[in-house]
Amino acid sequence: MSGQDAIGEAPGPEVIERIARDTIARLPAAFAAHLGDVVLIVEEFADDETLAALGLDHPLDLTGLYHGRPVGQKSSMDSGSLPDRIHLYRRAILDEWVETGVRLDDLVVHVTIHEIGHHFGLSDDDMHALEDAVDDARA
């Protein structure tokens, strides 16, 4: 079940997390090798502090966020810092799903890849290419 099949009930956080973890599992090995310490968190909304830091007024405006330093900027001097985290915001994802009509699994893949792209410091074009690689692996 892709999370697309449930009728009358919004997919829970476990569905969003399963799709995101499946996405990570389908990444090319060169990327997956650098994601072992990244924590995946599915929350209902971004908190007020996060929204304020990003200059956003409404929690439905943020579907995902990467907290951490991109791989190329890491140093051995980073010990003691929090682990890198990818936050996926369930309610904002569901709102976008309803508004756009995009398949839920496709949307979660897109948001997950976008946040992974920030972990690697990728350009938008590189993120799209990585998303295409994951889509090919899903087919």
Span 22-56, pLDDT tens digits: 999 888 888 888 888 889 999 999 999 999 999 99
Per-residue pLDDT of 74-129, as tens digits, reads 555 556 677 889 999 999 999 999 999 999 999 999 999 999 998 888 888 888 88
Q: What would you report as the CA-atom Rg of the chain, rounded to the nearest whole angstrom?
A: 15
Half-sphere exposure of 46 (CA within 13 A, CB side): 25
pLDDT over threshold 70, residue 2: no
The two beta strands, 39-43 and 85-89, are parallel
Per-residue pLDDT of 6-21, as tens digits, reads 567 889 999 999 999 9
